[in-house]
Every structure is written in C-alpha cells, then in structure tokens.
Amino acid sequence: METFTQGARKARATDALMRDENEVAQRIRKDRFKTVVVLLTLGVFAAAFLMLSTTNVVASLGVRGGAVNALGRTLRTGRQGGRARSGVLAGLGSSLERGRSVMARFGAPELNTPIFFVSVGTTDDETQMKDSLERMRVRSGLEPETLKRLVTVSKGVDATAWPDNTHLVEYAVKDIRTLAAQHGNVLAELPWVQIIELSKQTQDGRLPVEWRRLAHHVGCMYAHLFQWQLVKEQKLKKALIFESDGVQQTDLPFAEAQKAIDRLPEDADLLLFSFGNTPGGDLVDQWKGHGDDGTPVDVHLYKWNKWNAVAGLQSYVITDNFVRKVQEYISHKGADMIDAWLLGKMCVVGKDKDWNMRGLGETQFMPPGSKPILNCYHATTWS
C-alpha cells in the first residue's frame, strides 16, 4: 500500500511538472511570436519610411520632380523656360561650424553666383548629383537654405531616349536656329547641331544609327547648349555650371570660388574650376587664400589660351558674353564634341580661319587684336 501511495505521489508530481513545463513552453512560444510580429511590423514601417524618405530626397533635389517636369512641359509648349529650382535639400544635413560657411570664417566673399547642376535623371546620374550636392555643402559649409536659393537642378539630354526628350534639344538650339536663319543658314547643314534635324529624317525619330556610338557626346553637347540658353533667358551676368559629378572634379577650394569669379578680367567669357595643375597660359592674378579645410593656399588665375589634352566640362563659369559669342559662332559654323571644341579650339589661338573666325570678321565677335574666339581663364591653387 505504501509503495502504491508513493507511486501515485510521484505520478502526480511528474504530471504537475509536465504541466508547468508545457505552460512555460507556451509562454515562450507566445513571447517569441509577439517578438516576431513586432519585428516584422517595425520592418514594414522602416521599409515604408525609407521609400518615402528616398522619394522626398529625390523630389527635394528636383530630379524628375515637379519643378523640373514643369520646366520640361513649359519648353515642350514653346513658352519661356523657367528656373527648375531644387527643393529644400533636406537630405544635405547641417552645415559646418554652427552654420558659418567656410568663406565667412576666412573673410572671403560667400558664394552667390547662380549654380546649375546638369542631370539626365538616370539612377547613376542622380546618385552622383546628390553626392556632389552633399560634397558642396560639406566643402563650402553653406546652409541648405542658401544652396536652395543658388542651385538649379537642370535637365540634361539623353540622346538614346530620342524622340521622347527632343523638346529639350529644341529649346537648346532655338536661338541658334533663329540666328542661322538670319544669316541664310539652316540648322541641318551646321556640323553637330544638325544631328537633331537628321533624327527627324529617320522613321522613328531616334538618334541616327551612324551617331549612336557617340550618343553620350551628342547628349552632352545639347545638354550644355540647354544650360547656356537657360542662363541667357534668365538674363544672368554669370553662372556656375556643374555636371552631375562636377564637385568631385573641382580642385579650386569653394572658399575661393566667388573671389575668383569677382576678380575675373572684364573681357572674361569662361572660367574653369577643374584641371588642377594643367598649364593653360599666362598668370594674370594671384592672392593668398584658404583651402576648404582652412589650410593657407596661394590661388592663381591664368589665361587658358594654350592647347592642352584635357577632357570634360565638369565645372565652369560662363558670362552673358560667352553665350552671345558661342551662339553666334555656332549659327555660322556649327559645333563639335563640346569639351574638346571649347577648350581646344574656341579658347586657344587658332590656326584655322574657321576657328579664329578671321573669315567672318574678327571684330564682330571679339575685341580687336585678340586671337581666340573666347577669352578663357583657369583658377587653381597649383602654380
């Protein structure tokens, strides 16, 4: 009997222990389930927030945003193009040293020249452009609101997307077309700028087959022509133009950018901010300045009137005279691959009458006695 009683007690104890273990296991499973649900919910919210934030950043920078699309629609209808303002630039973070720009810290004039960023709207281009804007903020210390006031994110031209975006090209060449007609010329006979006319002769309006291997250069030319026309219509005296990766290629400190612009000679048409230690011509000005990190530097302003094997138009300043001269020239003689054409032809002493325009009446396009078509300069901390 005693043995039976002990066995019963053991059985009840074992049963109670099993019930306790089951209850604990159930609580653990419930807790784990709740944890998984919470984590999944947080993940969904995080993903939604990330998508919304990305959309807001892209919209704030103006790429494919309302302002740029509105500009495109305006150009498509033939009305005057307005400024494609960037948004609040919220993704750029806070400026350095409690909002004091690097220019203000060293007594240099703060950047106040209108800035145009060229973006064709591809994912890679948007990434480079946003990186450039952030680099500009960090290097200059300018407040996002100041960048908002100065920066226009402007349309580039993807020639592989024709005919969907040829309204941008039509805007880029509209004054050149008018000038050409006044001279008895037609756009279809002018080198390079004729490509848009050649596309109209194809069955689908796309870039002609023989030009497709140069599609990047074709789009690049029309994109820069677009910016120049925009600067002209906004009646700007000077403008700073960046390609989407332009800030990365700019070796002149932003602390000295506005001073370099302000100290340009009166005859200046073009000022280059890239190409570092490339010798361009005679020294015309120099001053003591600061790098973006505060390091003392010597800044040099050179003429750019000697041929150099360089490529790209990543960052440069143009004047209203630049636009007038270039459009007039193109209406007579057309253009070429835009960087080599400007830096290796229009800015340097020409040996061919077509390049120095002797055959067209030199004084019509430049001051008497000057040789290149454009008066070009180069600002750098290299000596």
pLDDT at 71: 34
pLDDT at 154: 93
Give the count of alpha carbons within 13 A of 151, CB side only: 31
DSSP assigned state of 286: E
Question: How far, in Å, CA of 183 to CA of 225, rounded?
Answer: 20
Domain ranges within the chain, ordered by starting residue: 1-60, 66-380
Phi, psi values for residue 300, rounded to 5°: -120, 140
pLDDT at 223: 97
Structural contact between residues 141 and 105, judged by C-beta atoms closer than 8 angstroms:
yes
End-to-end CA distance of the chain: 110
Structural contact between residues 144 and 95, judged by C-beta atoms closer than 8 angstroms:
yes
Q: What is the DSSP string of 49-86?
A: HHHHHHHHHHHHHTTTSHHHHHHHHHHHTTSPP---B-
pLDDT at 35: 54
For the chain, the residue count is 383
Q: Is the pTM of this model over 0.75?
A: no
Q: What is the DSSP string of 196-220?
A: HHHHTTSSS-PPPGGGGGGHHHHHH
- Find all residues with CB under 8 Å of 24, minimum gap 6, and list them: none
From the list 268, 258, 219, 220, the residue with the least C-alpha distance to 376 is 268
Question: How far, in Å, CA of 57 to CA of 35, rounded?
Answer: 32
User: Which pair of structure tokens corresponds to residue 335?
Assistant: 């253009």
HEC states along 254-285? HHHHHHHHHCCCCCCCEEECCCCCCCCCCEEE
Q: Which whole-number Å values give the CA distances from 9 to 17, 18, 23, 193, 382, in the listed order? A: 12, 14, 21, 101, 95
- Find all residues with CB under 8 Å of 5, minimum gap 6, and list them: none
Q: List alpha helices for the chain, DSSP H.
A: 2-61, 66-76, 102-105, 123-140, 144-150, 166-182, 195-199, 215-233, 257-262, 320-333, 338-341, 353-356
User: Which pair of structure tokens corresponds to residue 314?
Assistant: 């990543």
pLDDT at 67: 32
Question: How far, in Å, CA of 62 to CA of 85, rounded?
Answer: 7
pLDDT at 11: 43
User: Which pair of structure tokens corresponds to residue 124?
Assistant: 């890679």
pLDDT at 372: 83
User: Which pair of structure tokens corresponds to residue 347?
Assistant: 């800015």
Question: How far, in Å, CA of 247 to CA of 377, rounded?
Answer: 18
Question: How far, in Å, CA of 304 to CA of 290, rounded?
Answer: 23
User: Which pair of structure tokens corresponds to residue 82?
Assistant: 């307005």
pLDDT at 198: 97
Strands 270-272, 296-303: pairing kind: unpaired
Strands 115-119, 238-243: pairing kind: parallel
Furthest-apart CA atoms within the chain: distance in Å:
131
Spans of the chain, pLDDT less than 50: 1-22, 24-25, 28, 36, 44, 46-99, 351-368
